[in-house]
Amino acid sequence: MTDAIAVLMPGDMGHATGRVLAQHGYDVITCLGGRSVRTKALAQTAGLRDVGSLEAAVETASLILSILPPASALGQAGDVARAMTETGAKPVYVDCNAISPETVRKIADVIEDAGAPFIDAGIIGLKPDGAGPGPRFYVSGTDTAPMQALDGKGFQVKAIGTEVGRASALKMCYAGLTKGTWTLHTAVLLAAEAEGLSKELRDEFEYSQGPALAVMETRIPRLPADSGRWIGEMEEIAKTFADAGVTPGFHEGAAAIFRILAETPYASETRENFDSSRSMEETIRTAAGLLKKP
């Protein structure tokens, strides 16, 4: 084992995190077997070193950052735990995914049963770009020092306690507001479109809800590109709220909105090829055509 940091996997947030760590002198590795052309291109752009296999990544790294869509988080932890058992290597495993406290505790059990240390992390903020302090990685667990050592290396690290689940819960509450608000905006506009009231509602928004309308116009055309992976995040938020005694209904509805957006032709876009000329109105019209009325 070396001082290398493994990023699994280098998607939007993962490759950007790996890039800033590499810029601060870390040997950042990954394994790209079976990954998409886009993921491989992102990893290459970020300067991540492909070690070929998960087993090689586990053997080489002292720290593993798991950053991928939430629906894949538990499965990846199981794969890494098996690689730990096969190789005998026990790097620190940091789950940075948008998952509920219940899910992160299951992942902690998997990793700790393999004999490795575990840190719960929740990322809040845009992907790091090397400018400014970067996003916040909130961390919790019995020993968060390996992550705290990365504070200021392209992002901020904030420890919030020794209990696994606290960092993930904070991320769930935060995303419950941000992504939850975007889906509420979308739901309102879809209903107006279905009722033939889009123009009238827009006129009223221009008069009385200017700041909210500006957010809608900027954000809604971009949502389909991320909708597929955000379905799982909304389901994890709903689970978090239910476990806290708060209704999960808001975010079950948010997941339903993302399912509609994921059926549009715009869902095949990525953040690299997003059509910035498409309007909010066009996005809503297309999505409204997929509504199923009772």
| Residue ranges of the chain that CATH labels 1.10.1040 | 169-288
Q: What is the CATH number of domain 4-163?
A: 3.40.50.720
| pLDDT at residue 85, as a whole number | 98
| pLDDT at residue 293, as a whole number | 83
- CA count, 13 A, side-chain hemisphere, 84: 22
Alpha-carbon span 276 to 28, nearest angstrom: 32
| pLDDT at residue 294, as a whole number | 83
**Which pair of tokens denotes residue 42?**
């992102």
Query: Residue-wise pLDDT tens for the chain (294 aa)?
Result: 458 999 999 999 999 999 999 999 999 999 998 888 999 999 999 999 999 999 999 999 999 999 999 999 999 999 999 999 999 999 999 999 999 999 999 999 999 999 999 999 999 999 999 999 999 999 999 999 999 999 999 999 999 999 999 999 999 999 999 999 999 999 999 999 999 999 999 999 999 999 999 999 999 999 999 999 999 999 999 999 999 999 999 999 999 999 999 999 999 999 889 999 999 999 999 999 999 988
Alpha-carbon span 162 to 148, nearest angstrom: 13
| pLDDT at residue 2, as a whole number | 58
Q: What is the CATH number of domain 169-288?
A: 1.10.1040
At which residue do the structure tokens 């040997």 appear?
Answer: 27
| pLDDT at residue 1, as a whole number | 45
